[in-house]
Amino acid sequence: MSSGPIAGADGLKIVRIVPAPREKVFKAWTDPTEIKQWWGPPGFTTPLAEVDLRVGGAYRIAMKPPDGEVLYVSGVYREVKPPSKLVFTWAWDEDGAPGHESLVTVLFNERNGATEIVFSHERFKDAESRDNHAEGWNGLFDMLAAHFEN
C-alpha cells in the first residue's frame, strides 16, 4: 500500500506501508549491512554505506546505476530516535564536495505488525530537483518493500 508523492513548492511527502515491524525497518535504514542490500531505485547497487548513527554523526552512501558512474550522497543526522524517527541532511557529491543541502525526515509508525513510513524531503534547490528525487525515492521505497517480502 502506498501513497504517491505529494509535491509542494519546496518539498515532497511520501507515505508507504512496509510489511515488517518498525524495529526491523528502522534497522534497514540505519545499519550499513542492511542498507547495502536494498538502497536505491530498481537496478541500482549500493557498494558503500557508512553510518555514524547519532545526532551530529555523518553518513555516506554510494549508489551505482546499471550504466554509469557511482553517485555519492552524504549528510548529518539531526535527530535519531530509534525506532520511530530519523532526521538528516541530504547532499549529492558534486566534484568531490557536498552540493546543495536539503532535509529528510522519516517517521516509522507501528501499524499492526507492519510499518507506516511517513517520509518528507524539503529544501530542494528547484522544482526539477524535487521531481527527480520524488521518482528516485519512490523506486527506493519499492526496493525496501521487496526487501521485506523475501
For residue 126, what are the contacts with CB-CB under 8 A and spacing of at least 6?
A: none
Domain of residue 17, CATH code: 3.30.530.20
Q: What does the pLDDT average to over 101-114?
A: 97
Model confidence pLDDT, tens digit, residues 32-52: 999 999 999 999 999 999 999
For residue 28, what are the contacts with CB-CB under 8 A and spacing of at least 6?
A: 20, 34, 35, 37, 38, 144, 147, 148
If one counts the domains in the chain, the total is 1
For residue 45, what are the contacts with CB-CB under 8 A and spacing of at least 6?
A: 63, 64
pLDDT at 95: 85
Model confidence pLDDT, tens digit, residues 60-87: 999 999 998 999 999 999 999 999 999 9
The DSSP element (H or E) to which 18 belongs, if any, is strand 11-18
Q: Which domain holds residue 43?
A: 2-149
